[in-house]
Amino acid sequence: MHCPKCAIDLNDDVPKCPSCGFCIDDLNADLGTPKEKTGLIMDWAGVISDDAKQKLNGRLQHFATRTGSEFLIATIQTTTPRLPSEYVFWLLNRWQVGGPTHSGLLLLLALQERRIEVEVGYSLERFVTDDAATLILQNHAVPFLKAGDVDGGLFHASDVLARIVEEGLDEEKKS
Ligand SMILES: [Zn+2]
Please compute the mean of the pLDDT values over residues 72-81 and round it to a whole number.
97
Cα(171) to ligand 1 centroid in Å equals 33
The whole domain housing 113 covers 39-174
User: What pTM, to 2 d.p., does this model score?
Assistant: 0.91
CATH code, 73 = 3.10.310.50
Please compute the mean of the pLDDT values over residues 2-29 and round it to a whole number.
81
Which residues are near ligand 1, the ion (C-beta closer than 5 Å)? 3, 5-6, 17, 19-20, 22
Cα(5) to ligand 1 centroid in Å equals 5
Beta bridge partners, 104, equal: 70
Residue 16: pLDDT over 80: yes
What is the residue-averaged pLDDT of the chain? 93
The number of folded domains in the chain is 1
Q: 49 lies in a domain?
A: yes
What are the start-end ranges of the E strands in 32-171? Answer: 41-43, 70-76, 104-110, 115-120
Q: What is the pLDDT of residues 112-159, one digit of tens each?
A: 999 999 999 989 999 999 889 999 999 999 999 999 999 999 999 999
Backbone angles phi, psi at 125, to 5 degrees: -65, -20
